[in-house]
Amino acid sequence: MGEVISALALLLSGYATWRAHKFKKKEEELLDLQTKVNALILEKEQREAIHATRAELGASFLSLGSNRYRLKIFNRGKAAAHSVAIEFPDGNDAIPESELNEKFPLEIMEPGQSVELIAAVRNDTRRKQAVHLKWTDLNGKAQEKIVHATL
């Protein structure tokens, strides 16, 4: 009878050891997963912090009806753009120079703000215009972007 009890105790002890080992392995996997999740959350927070200090400028043509167009320069970023300048690397055959000189360079463009430039579109005007935008972010870093606006 004592041998049976000893054998049962040994089996129970072996089972408990096996379960403890299995539990520890699961716990290690869970801790590893938690470490990976924390790293991803930290990376996401860092990206969002960077985007919060960035302006994101764009340009597109707006049609106002029969041969009336505007070139809209806009900031869809989360931060203001400073010293906004505009150039046309392939030549400017749509926006009058007086319109450009009157509105640019722009000292500051807040998030969600836009500027519309009158576009003088003729039959020989290229339908796709390269617009080179330059600005400075909140952190003082110079940015630039070439947008191809189409009529």
Tens digits of per-residue pLDDT, 54-66?
889 999 999 887 7
Residue written as token pair 């707006």: 62
Please check whether residues 45 and 71 belong to one and the same domain.
no
Domain count within the chain: 2
Contact 96, 137 (CB under 8 A): no
Same domain (yes/no): 115, 78: yes
Q: Are residues 41 and 86 in the same domain?
A: no
Do 70 and 142 sit in the same domain of this protein?
yes
Given a contact cutoff of 8 angstroms between Cβ atoms, the answer to whether 146 and 132 are in contact is yes
Give the sheet arrangement for strand 69-75, strand by strand.
Answer: 57-63, 69-75, 114-119
- The pLDDT tens digits of the residues spanning 29-45 come to 999 999 999 999 999 98
| 92, 64: one domain | yes
CA atoms within 13 A on the CB side of 22: 6
Q: What is the CATH number of the domain that holds 144?
A: 2.60.40
User: Is 86 found in the same domain as 25?
Assistant: no
Region of residue 43 (left: phi > 0; alpha: psi -120 to 50; beta: else): alpha
